[in-house]
Structure formats: C-alpha cells, structure tokens
Chains A and B, each alone.
Chain A
Amino acid sequence: MLRNLRTRGVGALLCCCGMLQSCIILPVPRTASPTVGSRAEIPKALIEQIGPGKSKRVDVLLLLGEPDARVDADTSFIYDWRTGRGGIGWVMLWGIPAYAASSGGVIELGNWEPVLRRWLIRFDDSGVVSDVTWDGLPYRMPQSRR
C-alpha cells in the first residue's frame, strides 16, 4: 500500500516536472502598425496643418479624407484607427509531453489588445474648425503654444 502510494506520488511529480519543463516564457516583438480594416495613423504633423478658427470643413476633408464617424450633422468628425501595441510582448508556450496528453499552446501574457487612437475635430456653426481633441484631451496646435 505504502509502496503503491509512493509510486503514484513519484509519478505525479514526474508528470508535473514534465509539464513545467515544457512551459517556456518568451519575449516576442510586436508591431505597432494599424490593424486590418483600420485606417493608417494620422500623424500630428498632418493635424497641425489645420488652423482652428481658419480651416473649413472642406479643408479638413481634403487634408484627412472622409472621417470614420460623423457626429451631429457634421458638427464633428472623428478619425480613428487601431494599432498594435508595439514593443516587446511576452508569451508562454506550454505543452504536455506525449506520455501525458500530448497537447500545447500559446498564452499571451499581459495586454495584447490593439490601441485605439482618435482625433476629434469640431466645427462651429459656420463650418470652421473650432477645436481639436486627441484621445479625449484638447490638442494645442503649435501656433497656439507660442
């Protein structure tokens, strides 16, 4: 009886060791490029060509193209895109050896969800840009920073 228990314990230990040996955590380079179906990034340098109080709705359209969303009868345009997180991500490769169950997989560790980036451009009643928002925060144009 004791020998049987000991044998089982050793077997379970060996099985666990086998599983642990087949678990590897690896760094993986991630791309920061836009996800499929998303528009490409709109850089700040492009947005900074817009002059609040000067640029009209047609100027914004000619510069940035059609928006991803139109709000309240075109009083605001939303331009957004999703990008990968970039940098290094970590994954865990795991596998159960053939003598146990012979399976395995990859688990992404941490947050791998794409990042949503958004420009919101508001227009006044005459269709002139009134303000620009970047990811929910007012964006100060270079000409207004001086």
Chain B
Amino acid sequence: MRPVSLGILERAGVTRDQITAQFGPASASFEGDHVLAYRLQQGHSGYNVLRTTGWEGVNYDLILAFDESGVLSQHHMVPIHAPQPPH
C-alpha cells in the first residue's frame, strides 16, 4: 500500500515518468505504455495505491492516458467499490 496525492493529475504537462516516480509501477499498462492503470483505495487521509491482483479493497481504478510525448492527456477514476463510510 502506497499513499499518493492526486493533485499531480491536475498539473499541466505531467509526464509518465513523474507519475511512475510518485505512484510506483502500474497494475497494468496498455497501448505500449500510453495507458496506465492504478488500483486505489480511499483512506481517511487520502488515497493509497494497492498492489493487488483482485478487486478486494479497491475503490477506484485510476486510468491515465498519455500522448505520444509521454504527457498526461486524460485521466479518469473508475469506481469499482464504493468506499466504506467513516465510522
């Protein structure tokens, strides 16, 4: 489990290398590394990247698409399981 800040996704010109430096290795890559996927769990203080093969505990699948020069062009947090409400 790796805590991450998603603020980087809103910055202009973010590169794939900057993403992988902060998020670590992706859980999956597609289209010759032009699309990366990270499984996120929403915690009390932010998001954590999960290293898991199944979907247990995963709240979002973060999909990042990069252009030909490796700059982030699109991203979407795909809901997987609704986060547990705080107790």
Residue of B nearest to A81 (CB): B55
Number of chain B residues whose Cβ lies closer than 8 Å to a Cβ of chain A? 22
Chain B residue numbers with a CB within 8 Å of A66 are 27-28, 30, 37, 61, 63
Question: Which secondary structure characterizes the binding site on chain B?
Answer: strand
| Interchain CB contact under 8 A, A37 and B56 | yes
Is residue B2 within 8 Å, beta carbon to beta carbon, of the partner chain?
Answer: no
A contact face: mostly helix, strand, loop, or mixed: loop
Given contacts A64-B78, A65-B61, A65-B63, contact A57 B30 (CB under 8 A): yes
Total cross-chain contacts (CB, 8 A): 53
Query: Count of A residues near B, CB < 8 Å?
Result: 16
- A58, B34: Cβ atoms under 8 Å? yes
Interchain Cβ contacts under 8 Å between A and B, 28 examples? A37-B54, A37-B55, A37-B56, A38-B54, A38-B55, A39-B58, A39-B80, A40-B80, A40-B82, A57-B30, A57-B31, A58-B30, A58-B31, A58-B34, A61-B30, A61-B35, A62-B75, A62-B78, A63-B78, A64-B78, A65-B37, A65-B61, A65-B63, A65-B80, A66-B37, A66-B63, A74-B30, A127-B31
